[in-house]
Amino acid sequence: MTTSEQNLASGQGWHVSDVVCTAGAGDSPFEEEHRTFCVAAVTQGTFRYRTRQGMAMLAPGAILLGNSGACYECGHEHGAGDRCLSFHFAPAYMEAIVAEVPGARRPGFATPRLPPLPALAPLLAEAEAARETVDSDAFEELGLRIAAAAVVVAAGTANVGRAPSRRDQKRVAEAVRRIELDADQPISLAELAGETATSPYHFLRTFRHVAGMTPYQFLLKTRLHRAAVRLRTSDEAISAIAFEAGFNDLSTFNRRFRREMGQAPGAYRARRRIV
pLDDT, tens digit, for every residue of 201-238? 999 988 888 887 899 988 998 999 899 988 988 899 99
Output the tens digit of pLDDT for each of the chain's 275 residues: 578 999 999 999 999 999 999 888 778 887 899 999 999 999 988 888 999 998 888 888 889 999 999 999 998 876 678 899 999 999 999 999 998 887 777 888 988 999 888 888 888 988 998 998 888 999 999 999 999 998 988 777 544 456 678 788 888 888 888 998 999 999 999 999 999 889 999 999 888 888 878 999 889 989 998 999 889 888 999 999 999 999 998 999 999 999 888 889 999 888 765 54
Read off the amino acid at residue 130: A
pLDDT of amino acid 273: 58
Distance, in Å, from the CA atom of 69 to the CA atom of 35, rounded to the nearest integer, reads 5
What is the phi/psi pair of residue 99, to 5°?
A: -65, -20
Choose among 190, 248, 255: nearest CA to 216. 190
How many CA atoms, within 13 angstroms, populate the side-chain half-sphere of residue 117?
15
48 strand-pairing partners: 57, 75
Phi-psi category of 63—alpha, beta or left, where left has phi over 0 and alpha has psi -120 to 50? beta
pLDDT of amino acid 259: 86
pLDDT of amino acid 34: 95
Distance, in Å, from the CA atom of 32 to the CA atom of 19, rounded to the nearest integer, reads 14
pLDDT, tens digit, for every residue of 134-154? 889 999 999 999 999 989 887
CB 202 within 8 A of CB 100: yes
- Strands in 37-45's sheet, in edge-to-edge order, are 3-11, 14-21, 82-89, 37-45, 63-66, 113-114
pLDDT of amino acid 158: 47
Phi-psi category of 246—alpha, beta or left, where left has phi over 0 and alpha has psi -120 to 50? left
Neighbours of 1 (CB within 10 A): 15
CB 35 within 8 A of CB 7: no
CB 172 within 8 A of CB 211: yes
CA distances 133 to 103, 127, 253, 261, 270, Å, are 35, 10, 11, 18, 27
Question: CA-based angle 134:112:202, to the nearest 5?
Answer: 55
Read off the amino acid at residue 201: Y
85 strand-pairing partners: 18, 41
Choose among 93, 92, 80: nearest CA to 25. 80
CB 204 within 8 A of CB 141: yes
CA distances 82 to 79, 87, 104, 121, 143, Å, are 9, 16, 31, 19, 20
- The 8-class DSSP code of residue 120 comes to G
CB 244 within 8 A of CB 237: no
